[in-house]
Chains A and B, each alone.
Chain A
Amino acid sequence: MDVLVADAVNPHNLMAARLQMALSLGWHIIVACLGVGMPAITLIAEWRGHRTGDPHVQLLARRWAKAMGVLFAVGAVSGTILSFEMGLLWPGLMGTYGEVIGLPFALEGIAFFIEAIFLGIYLYAWDRLPPVPHLLSGIPIVIAGVASAFFVVTANAWMQQPTGFDTREGRVTAVEPWAAMFNPATPPQTVHMILAAFMVAGFSMAAVYAVAMLRGRRDRYHRVGFLIPFTVAAVITPVQIGVGDWAAHFVAENQPVKLAAMEGVFETERGVPLHLGGVAVDGELRYALEIPYGLSLLAHWDPNAEIAGLNEVPTAEHPPVNVVHWAFQVMVGLGFALLALVAWQWWAWWRRRDLPRSPWFLRAAALAGAAAVVALEAGWTVTEVGRQPWLVYGVMRTSEAVNPAPGLVYGFAGVAAVYAVLTVATVYVLRRMAREKPVPVAPQERDVSDYKVV
């Protein structure tokens, strides 16, 4: 490790800052995915309800909108904290490179503004607007949600593939902001993330109704409540597997150290097997199941392709191999499990225009929401931990960017306590909302909360 840096930074501070960032980002990313995916799914239900006049579908749209209102509020504030933390925890990054990644964040700010404005109109003016204008007022929420996900992820992609700037003696001398934003990692990473958001939203919304159906409530309301979000997820999942392959090829070409950590490859070799499971101990992956030539084939479409090992770089520049390796395995494994579930459903639908009869299908679907969230977090871990010890790949180490002020540990403790309370309260409120009966005309207006829809 760089001796100067090690001296300058208190390791507890660095660890506290990393944990605080991981906690706030890992929390926000779930809510943000629901914020990106739920509006589209809710609009589909509202549109179906408007077209068919089916009161069940109309009620579903209203209840989803109400939950969306709560989740959006929580997402707005947990996202704000992240913009604070960029400066509070990583002033070394922002002071030098803030201007390089400023453009996508400014664009994200505009997108978020539009999202918040139209969400206010969509939720509170449900009873003041005629049905079609109301439906139309929801469309900017969907577009802006996807756009803000895109903009934020371009900034993260820049940290993986920093381009578009010149430095001299640690100072940025010239910037091409558009080149920084559209860096090589941007296309695969943004697409992978946006599709993940729709998978998380689709599977977790469907899971709520899968649980209800397992408890015997198999009426039309619960069936449709399951089918709409599940269908969205079922359309996205196969595409996501392909995009995931694209993203992995990108890593193989551009971040060989990360690929080596993902696969637990230490020595550079040709014809490298794919490792399933295993633990990295003393510079070697042990107990893994090996599929011969698998990795060379998957990463480069050539069974004899050369894969660079971790030992190409000094040990100090290795990311934590076991974390990255296992996170990658978990993400891929869950991705394929979700694909199998989706295939089961497609097959049953093709045969009989119905859900699979087996209760195991609903049991699996009930777990699919949690599985999608775990896959999301695992994928995020691969991206972020796989980049360590760099904050900006090859340019700035995480330890160079951290705030040297003492006492970040207390900040982390405070944030952790607040997030614990926030988690409990969010889950509690959402569960109560799922059980409540009456739904007002406008999902956020109490004035009319006794209005019975069905």
Chain B
Amino acid sequence: MPLPEILLGLLWIGVTAYVLFGGADFGGGVWDLLAGGAERGARQRALVEHAIGPVWEANHVWLIFVIVLAWTGVPSVFAAVASTLYIPLTLTALGIIARGSAFAFRKASTLLWQRRLFGAAFAFSSVVTPFFLGTVAGAIASGRVPPGIAEGDLAASWLNPTSLVSGALAVGTAAYLAAVYLTRDAQRAGDAGLAAAFRRRALAAGVVVGGLSAVGLVVLRADAPRLFDRLTTGAALPLLALSVAAGVVSLALLAWTRAFLAVRVTAALAVVGLLWGWGVGQYPRLLPGVTLREAAATDAVLAATLGALAVGAVLLVPSLVWLYATFQRGDGQGEGESGDAGAFPRAENNS
């Protein structure tokens, strides 16, 4: 396989990992926002905080990985996207700052008003950030970012039907993935009530995301007919079918079984199918009139970067496995029923 395709594939793996892991961390913030008052929502918030605390920074690095690979592998495309879409990207950047720092500050705070203030910043930015990232995806997918620097319409490029649906879909997907993951976390912690609550949320979010996807296809048909054709007839069709099937199976498993670990897999597959369907549907055209080959960096750069990443993967993959294994095992002192009873924020004690 030629170097530009390998690099693009890696970049898309990075996007997928960011959506599956980083996206779910954003979704945790969505549920934090919807958890209700300080008393009532305490158990849910504690579970969210407990689940994403150790891993969100590592999950966040996928975004940096994607950005760096984009400017290394397809520099002119990166410049075109960043300059035309600088408004939603600046808002995304501000959302990322607010979210990450507020999460860390809330963890370090003890007084109720502080936890409320930082918690609100964390939860609110968890909703708006994926929305803006989604509008960026919609702008690229609907061919509204022309090549060249700041050549596109600064507003209409991301304020259009495809972008708005994509934004909503991004928030919905994040919330859905988070609810599915958290259901299993609550089940493993032995908290049946909390597991049931997140199961209901996962079902609701799943139905909403399914509906949004259907709306998205209709919008795409009118707004980005080329991508729609590729998705519904071309090479991307099997991936779209996989996405739909996995989505339906997830909802069925959630509704009628307690196989929450299996739902994690099928829910992730549904999202992977959607993302790779888009990728395959758009390939090889990155921007209107610009193919991958035209935009790709020189082979020397691609070879050096891919070599460095291959060496890096030898270090990274076992480290990541150890990280997730450490915090997904149920045998630690902080886990289990007794441990999680203590996992509530101390806010109540101090109020």
Contact = CB atoms under 8 A, between A and B. Distances in A.
B168 interface: no
A70, A102, A177, A448: most-surrounded residue (chain B CB, <10 A): A102
Interface stretch (A48-56, A87-95, A302-310, A329-337): A87-95
Contacts of B73: 99, 102
Contacts of A92: 79, 149
A361 interface: no
B346 A449 contact: yes
Contact of A88 (B57, B90, B346): B90
14 contacts: A74-B104, A84-B89, A87-B67, A88-B89, A91-B150, A105-B68, A110-B309, A118-B319, A177-B301, A403-B83, A411-B86, A446-B49, A447-B334, A447-B339
Interface string A78-108: 1111011111100110111111101101111
Contacts of B94: 414-415, 418
Interface string B290-334: 000000011011001100110010011001101100110000111
A181 B257 CA distance: 55
Contact of A95 (B68, B79, B305, B333): B79
B64 to A, nearest CB: 6
B50, B53, B304: most-surrounded residue (chain A CB, <10 A): B304
A113 B58 contact: yes
Interface of B: 46, 49-50, 53-55, 57-58, 60-61, 63-65, 67-69, 71-73, 75-76, 78-84, 86-87, 89-90, 92-94, 96-105, 107-110, 118, 149-150, 154, 297-298, 300-301, 304-305, 308-309, 312, 315-316, 319-320, 322-323, 326-327, 332-334, 339-340, 342-343, 345-346
Nearest to A421: B98
Contacts of B149: 91-92, 95, 403-404
Nearest to A74: B101
B312 to A, nearest CB: 3
Contacts of B308: 103, 106-107, 110
A4 to B, nearest CB: 15
Contacts of B105: 70, 425-426, 429
Contact of B82 (A88, A422, A447): A88
A99 B301 contact: yes
A66 interface: yes
Contact of A121 (B82, B110, B322): B322
Contacts of A108: 68
Contact of A106 (B298, B305, B346): B305
A450 B342 CA distance: 10
Given A87-B67, A176-B300, A72 B342 contact: no
Contact of B323 (A96, A120, A408, A447): A120
Interface string A324-365: 000000000000000000000000000000000000000000
Interface string A164-199: 000000001111111000000000000000000000
Contacts of B340: 447
A279 interface: no
B54, B68, B305: most-surrounded residue (chain A CB, <10 A): B68
A408 B90 CA distance: 10
A6 interface: no
B304 A177 contact: yes
Contacts of A84: 67, 82, 89-90, 92-93
Contacts of A85: 93
A422 B101 contact: yes
A128 B60 contact: no
A267 interface: no
Given A80-B97, A114-B316, 14 more contacts: A80-B63, A85-B93, A95-B75, A99-B301, A121-B322, A121-B326, A123-B54, A124-B53, A175-B300, A176-B300, A405-B83, A405-B150, A411-B90, A449-B346
Interface of A: 66, 69-70, 72-74, 76-81, 83-88, 91-92, 94-100, 102-103, 105-110, 112-114, 116-121, 123-125, 127-128, 140, 172-178, 403-408, 411, 414-415, 418, 422, 425-426, 429, 432-433, 436, 442, 444-450
